[in-house]
Amino acid sequence: MLDLKVDIDSNSGFCFGVVYAIEMAEDILNEQGYLYCLGDIVHNDEEVRRLEAKGLKIIDHEALQQIRNEKVLIRAHGEPPSTYRIAVENNLELVDASCPVVLKLQNRIKNSFDKKEKIYIYGKHGHAEVEGLLGQTNQEAVVFQDIAELDLASLPRQITLYSQTTKSTDKFYEINAILREHGIEVNTNDTICRQVSNRDKELRAFASRYHKILFVSGTKSSNGKVLYGVCKATNPNTYFISKKEDIDPAWFQQGDTIGICGATSTPWWLMEEVKEALLQL
């Protein structure tokens, strides 16, 4: 036995947006035994599998066009206006679990669009939340995930900058500074969710207290990538895993202290499973 000392970060686990969506889904699953959900309810394969076993049916936008007279859950990432139009046409009852933070951001972007501002969104191409934001602008906003994608010389001299809710705060402000250095007048809207940006600081403190860190997250989670980067920068002995089977015993030495933490989409039960597995080594 390696006699590892293992703690789970009390600030990790689902954010309130994900808790709300999963509670809504489970209530309906308990009542009607199945429920359609547009896209993965959460970017965590283990949690998706648990809910699928209870009757959750994940569908994509193409499948949405084919079904009629059903309930469909909108997950925390939100959706563009086109999804709500399809629902009306197909007599679908949308169970809207869009996170209030995302809905507020959608509204702000819609207002900017109505005022004819030049909208730039720092976000991941094709990400569900970003598609929902882009939909508020009739697909006219510019989405970029790296400043190198923008030709700074040809940008309008006045722009309105937003961020996907789960991007890195440090990178967002770096981008903001570069744009200003190039003489662009930026109306800056830091729309990064505090559930993510506050974890940033807490995680730095947590990661520095242990010999090794296991960061538990689905590979599709945007904030998982950001928060893993925060841990790795603080503690180079940080390992990314998605499930207990990914643990390599060779990472540890006798008596190591191990901190377990995760993304806003990482279920608590999964981190508990990882802890149990470590205590068996």
- Does 195 bind ligand SF4 (CB under 6 A)? Our answer is yes
Q: Where are the beta strands (DSSP E) in 70-211?
A: 71-74, 93-96, 119-122, 142-144, 158-163, 185-188
Quick one: 120 exposed, middle or buried, by C-beta within 10 A (0-12, 13-18, 19+)?
Answer: buried
Does 266 bind ligand SF4 (CB under 6 A)? Our answer is no
Indicate if 46 belongs to the active site: no
Task: Tell me the window of 43-51, 64-72, 84-92, 191-199 that interacts with ligand SF4 (CB under 6 A).
Answer: 191-199
Q: Which of residues 11-30 bind ligand SF4 (CB under 6 A)?
A: 15-18
What mask of x and - would describe binding to ligand SF4 in positions 83 to 122, judged by CB under 6 A? ----------------x-xx--------------------
- Does the footprint of ligand SF4 cover residue 259 (CB under 6 A)? no
Nearest distance in Å: CB 230, ligand SF4: 15
From residue 57 to residue 86, the character string flagging contacts with ligand SF4 as x (rule: CB under 6 A) and all else as - is: -------------------x----------
What element of type H or E holds 81?
helix 81-89
CB of 22 to ligand SF4, least distance (A): 11
3-state DSSP assignment of residue 100: helix
From residue 224, how far is each of 144, 151, 253 by CA, in Å?
Answer: 19, 29, 26
Q: Determine, following the binding rule CB under 6 A, whether residue 165 of this chain makes contact with ligand SF4.
A: yes
CA neighbours within 13 Å on the CB side: how many for 180?
Answer: 10
How far apart are CB 127 and ligand SF4 at their closest, in Å? Answer: 11
Catalytic residue of the set 117, 129, 140, 181? 129
User: For residues 173-205, b (16+ Cβ closer than 10 Å) or e, as one string?
Assistant: eebbeebeeeebebebbebbbebbbebbebbee
Residue positions annotated with a catalytic role: 129
Instruction: State the residues that interact with ligand SF4 by CB under 6 A.
Output: 15-18, 76, 99, 101-102, 165-166, 193, 195-196, 264
